[in-house]
Amino acid sequence: MTKVKVAINGYGTIGKRVADAVALQDDMEIIGVAKTRPNFETVMAKDKGFNVYTLADRVGAMEKEGIEVSGTVEEMIEAADVVVDCTPGKVGATNKDLYEKAGIKAIWQGGEAHTLTGCSFNAETNYDEALGKDFVRVVSCNTTGLCRVLSPLDKEFGIKKARVTLLRRAADPGDIKTGPINAIVPNPIKLPSHHGPDVKTVIPNIDIATTAVKLPTTLMHLHTVNLELEKECTAEDVESILAEQSRVRFVGQGITSTAEIMELAKDLGRPRGDMWENCIWNESITMYEGELYFFQAIHQESDVIPENVDAIRAMMELESDASRSIEITNKTMGI
């Protein structure tokens, strides 16, 4: 089988994980990763055997640090079938001209606006929409986590109204510049937050409103989900639907916090201690006065990674059936 050639532009938190996940697939290969700085991640990319590319004006800086580059970002793009843009939010959009000129398919991340691609993606929800598309956006970690539960519950019971509070990690663990370190920050203060409209880019007809606060933690986000459903059902009915979702994991057995979930991910031997699935406390799934409530934790650094792999498969039409792509991705990654 000819493998689809994938380039990763931006090799940070998301890019390095997407590169590793793509490298596990039989139908895809990494032809290069682009880094702007000669840091430990650049050295790691070389050690893993990836070809490293950089911006034209950074070649000298890389070589000065003893890092041999395979060429410029433009050259990497020329050699690829699809590029996964994992540059920081808003930087990605500035690369669109480059991809269009090269006639290459491109995937962006949740830091970009829906309007950049017109197609916002979550594998379980709208895989078919991305089939053969040139430009797709894999939605953010929070939106991915919400789509994974709202979409199956909407299909089964009909969601009349979704109200979600997002308790967000302030920064990623490796980020030394972002705060707060001792405050709770309503963010945004103007309500509702932008997270609800972002879910609507994938599930257009849902009535959802969200609020969000930033907390001094780096591990995971936590969502308090409250739903009014069309059909009458019990907490057990909801639990059985969520139990069927391959990217949902129930937690309990002494797991009472995001810290213990991250410990579990490490104990499971997950690369980088990643937890790709939504973690739902099944004990929290409750019907109260006709409304559904539950808690779920989302590992912001990794839940979007399998979604990027499925997005490549849909855009390149390697697999037309969503469930088959999801199954392959899950199996190769160990989900």
Residues annotated as catalytic are: 141
* Contact pick of 5, 13, 125, 229 for ligand NAD (by CB under 6 A): 13
Indicate the residue among 141 and 162 with the shorter CB distance to ligand NAD. 141
Residues 6+ apart with CB under 8 A from 256: none
Residue 279 CB, shortest distance to ligand NAD, in Å, is 16
How many of the chain's residues bind ligand NAD (CB under 6 A)?
28
Indicate the residue among 88 and 179 with the shorter CB distance to ligand NAD. 88
**Helix residue spans in the chain (DSSP H):** 13-23, 40-47, 59-64, 73-78, 96-102, 123-126, 141-157, 195-200, 235-243, 258-267, 305-315, 322-333
Residue 170 CB, shortest distance to ligand NAD, in Å, is 11
Q: List strands edge to edge, sheet with 28-34.
A: 71-72, 52-54, 28-34, 4-9, 82-85, 105-108, 135-138, 120-121
Interaction mask 157-196, ligand NAD, x per CB under 6 A? ---------------x------------------------
Residue 64 CB, shortest distance to ligand NAD, in Å, is 17
CB atoms within 10 A of CB 236: 9
Q: Among 106-114, 116-124, 159-167, 210-218, which window interacts with ligand NAD (CB under 6 A)?
A: 106-114
* CA–CA distance, 280 with 163 (Å, rounded to integer): 17
DSSP string for residues in 209-229: EEEEEEES-SS-EEEEEEEEE
Positions 39 through 58 that interact with ligand NAD (CB under 6 A) = 55
Contact residues for ligand NAD (CB under 6 A)?
A: 9-15, 34-37, 55, 86-89, 91-92, 109-112, 140-141, 172, 300-301, 304
